[in-house]
Structure 1
Amino acid sequence: MDSTSSLPDVWPEPVVPVQSLSEAGISAVPPQYIKPPKERPVFPAPSLDVPIVDVARFLDGGAPPDEQQLQAVADACSQYGFFQVVNHGVEASTVEQMRGAWTRFFGLGMEEKKVCSNSPAAPEGYGSRAGVEKGACLDWGDYYFLHVMPSEIKCRNKWPKSPHDLREITEEYGRKLMNLSEVLLKAISMSLGLDESYLHAAFGGGGGGGVAACMRVNYYPTCPQPGLTLGISSHSDAGGIAVLLADDGVSGTQVRKGDTWYTVQPIPRAFLVNVGDQIQVIKLI
């Protein structure tokens, strides 16, 4: 059964892109974006040295990882649930092309972007809210959501037609990130003492039905009162793993360890990896 079949075709209230509010020069955050006091960001938040994991030896053709490297992966996953991955094999040029293409997209006129608007029943596309509850507290950010795999669920008519090279660049970036995700699943499997293909197969790879993957490109406009709202509400990632590309030099990502939220200082050319809910509950045989 299609899980979206019971969802409405339209949002419960008119959708106002946050970018348009920011560019209008408003001096105060509208009430629907103000978070309850307990959910507001803490300034300044303490910094956290998220583990750095070098996956060079997990790439095809590399020397096999040693016990120290396997333990580093295990510790990062079990003690933090996050790590920054380096020497991952994704070329800097691919990353910069991806950043550039989507920067150009969000720089398009609002009416051109709205042609790609999504809905609760058809989540792919350009959007500014996720929940269908009327009167919900909203996040200060816009996004573009796409299915990457399997190809059967891609809605290609919702992929932007402009900039002209965005589709090609996004497809290439998606392939590279899928390759990296397979490497990460291999590393996590080996760190658990399992066959290197265990988790990849568990998620449908290698003839198991097909791995599913999606991509969300977030745009966080300037906010007049950043202490009252969030770009995206606190959450855990429901999938297996999430690979996050942060803007260089922008330390807006926060992670929770224990009961405290910490700011992550992104490393140039690194990806931030979040171990998702499915990895934590998957049955190990």
Structure 2
Amino acid sequence: MLKNQQDWPEPVVRVQSLSETCIDSIPQNYIKPSSHRPSISPTSFDDANCNIPIIDLGGLWGADQHVTASILTQISEACKDWGFFQITNHGVSPDLMDKARETWRQFFHLPMDVKQQYANSPKTYEGYGSRLGVEKGAILDWSDYYYLHYLPLSLKDHNKWPSLPPSCREVIEEYGRELVKLCRRLLRLFSINLGLDEKSLENGFGGEDIGACLRVNFYPSCPRPDLTLGLSSHSDPGGMTMLLPDDQVPGLQVRKCHDWITVKPQRHAFIVNIGDQIQVLSNAMYKSVEHRVIVNSDKERVSLAFFYNPKSDIPIEPIKELVTEDMPALYPPMTFDEYRLFIRTRGPRGKSQVESLKSPT
């Protein structure tokens, strides 16, 4: 278990505890600069035309080639135009999805002394946490989380996973197994849509020896949701993210051009988004997209972000078939370990992280 917090720049405060004690205000170090504060429209959740694409995968692996071609086109357009989309009929059991989310909700409502046994540190981030980045005096996000490794097997340690609720470790294991299978299928579809061999992106990730981890986000209710964010604007540093949202309480916002679109989750759908590593491998044909999370004045939210990542110690660079005289390689080689360390020292900073890596032209 992770108990050492001495490397955080300030004492760690659990946001869940603040939520229980703050009545009509929040501490100053959670108040975002005015330009970063959310604009929350009460009608945005109900606008059916204002949402990321929703793609039904039901006929994808059937015999009808026209259906398969249509689904591939929808995925291709979503990857290029949005970087985000929702998938339904994806093959993961709805019961398992519900069980995973509710098991973690139960964990966050355990007594604090039980959760504190899993407190994390900046060294690996694995465990129960409440902040990102190690910058002293940083403006913090209104959220707690639990981060754990699923793959590679050398990093998987069940002792670092919660032992309560009693079914927690079993549920995590089954959920991770199903999500790895789904991510592999999607990665092959991305490769086909890029005009590559179906295993090209998978090989770019390191073949079978990939990385996968889970970050469970807990966003307590907040008396001043207009002043803070549950998670600051960022693009995901890894390969691909499979998000199981709280389908009762919207909160994810995706940047589209200059607007923030509040995602309306579909029941038993996953939200898929492109990470920085696929942007690099695809030579920016697919782009990771800025997103953030708003909080609610009277409702908590729980979401599960499953990150499917390249092998940590191999150089990630544009796939050679996507590099031409007209489109030279935009990014120098960098391992995911190096990139992840780069991110962790700075915390969430929009799209500036991956854009700063571009080779000078």
Fold-level similarity (TM above 0.5): yes
AA partner of residue 178 (structure 1): V
> Distance between the aligned counterparts of 1:173 and 1:123, measured in 2?
21
RMSD: 1.7
> Distance between the aligned counterparts of 2:199 and 2:73, measured in 1?
18
AA partner of residue 258 (structure 1): C
Aligned counterpart, 1:203: 205
Once the two structures are TM-superposed, the CA of residue 33 in structure 1 deviates from its matched residue by 0.3
Which of 118, 128, 131 is the aligned partner of 2:130?
128
Q: Per the alignment, do residues 62 and 32 of structure 1 end up closer, same or farther by CA in structure 2, a change over 3 Å counting?
A: farther
1:145 has 2:144 as partner: no
Aligned counterpart, 2:352: none
1:100 has 2:87 as partner: no
Query: 1:134-155: CA deviations, max 9, x gaps?
Result: 1110000000001111110124
> Distance between the aligned counterparts of 1:221 and 1:135, measured in 2?
22
Q: Per the alignment, do residues 14 and 26 of structure 1 end up closer, same or farther by CA in structure 2, a change over 3 Å counting?
A: farther
> Distance between the aligned counterparts of 1:58 and 1:178, measured in 2?
18
Aligned counterpart, 2:27: 30
1:269 has 2:285 as partner: no
CA contact (8 A) 2:188 2:202 kept: yes
- With 154-163 and 178-187 compared, the bigger mean Cα shift is at 154-163
Once the two structures are TM-superposed, the CA of residue 192 in structure 1 deviates from its matched residue by 1.6
Q: Per the alignment, do residues 63 and 116 of structure 1 end up closer, same or farther by CA in structure 2, a change over 3 Å counting?
A: farther
Once the two structures are TM-superposed, the CA of residue 56 in structure 1 deviates from its matched residue by 3.1
> Distance between the aligned counterparts of 1:63 and 1:149, measured in 2?
35
- With 17-26 and 137-146 compared, the bigger mean Cα shift is at 17-26
- With 38-47 and 214-223 compared, the bigger mean Cα shift is at 38-47
Once the two structures are TM-superposed, the CA of residue 280 in structure 1 deviates from its matched residue by 1.2
Aligned counterpart, 2:192: 190
Once the two structures are TM-superposed, the CA of residue 63 in structure 1 deviates from its matched residue by 5.2
> Distance between the aligned counterparts of 2:51 and 2:178, measured in 1?
26
Q: Per the alignment, do residues 13 and 194 of structure 1 end up closer, same or farther by CA in structure 2, a change over 3 Å counting?
A: same
Greater relative contact order (Cα 8 A, min sep 6): structure 1 or 2? 1
Once the two structures are TM-superposed, the CA of residue 9 in structure 1 deviates from its matched residue by 5.0
Match of 1:56, SS? coil
Once the two structures are TM-superposed, the CA of residue 260 in structure 1 deviates from its matched residue by 1.1
CA contact (8 A) 2:158 2:169 kept: no
CA contact (8 A) 1:240 1:277 kept: yes
Aligned counterpart, 2:69: 67
> Distance between the aligned counterparts of 1:253 and 1:38, measured in 2?
18
Match of 1:234, SS? strand
> Distance between the aligned counterparts of 2:30 and 2:64, measured in 1?
50
AA partner of residue 38 (structure 1): S
Match of 2:81, SS? helix
Once the two structures are TM-superposed, the CA of residue 57 in structure 1 deviates from its matched residue by 4.1
TM-score, normalised on structure 2?
A: 0.73
| Residues 174-189 of structure 1 mapped to structure 2, 5 A cutoff | 174-189=176-191
Once the two structures are TM-superposed, the CA of residue 201 in structure 1 deviates from its matched residue by 2.0
Match of 1:115, SS? helix
Match of 1:174, SS? helix
Aligned counterpart, 1:257: 256
Query: 1:147-181: CA deviations, max 9, x gaps?
Result: 11111012432211111110010111011111111
Which of 9, 13, 17 is the aligned partner of 2:10?
13
Once the two structures are TM-superposed, the CA of residue 190 in structure 1 deviates from its matched residue by 1.5
Residue segments in structure 1 that go unaligned for 5+ positions in a row: 1-7
Aligned counterpart, 1:5: none
AA partner of residue 81 (structure 1): G
AA partner of residue 39 (structure 1): H
CA contact (8 A) 1:9 1:120 kept: no
Match of 1:134, SS? coil
CA contact (8 A) 1:56 1:62 kept: no
Fraction of identical pairs, as percent: 50
Which of 167, 170, 181 is the aligned partner of 1:168?
170
CA contact (8 A) 1:9 1:121 kept: no
Match of 2:134, SS? coil
- With 180-189 and 149-158 compared, the bigger mean Cα shift is at 149-158
Q: Tell me how many residue pairs correspond in the alignment.
A: 274
CA contact (8 A) 2:55 2:86 kept: yes
Query: 1:45-72: CA deviations, max 9, x gaps?
Result: 745321112223445x765553322211
CA contact (8 A) 1:124 1:155 kept: no
Aligned counterpart, 2:296: none
Q: Per the alignment, do residues 274 and 90 of structure 1 end up closer, same or farther by CA in structure 2, a change over 3 Å counting?
A: same
Which of 110, 113, 116 is the aligned partner of 2:115?
113
Residue segments in structure 2 that go unaligned for 5+ positions in a row: 282-317, 322-361
Match of 1:67, SS? helix
Once the two structures are TM-superposed, the CA of residue 205 in structure 1 deviates from its matched residue by 2.4
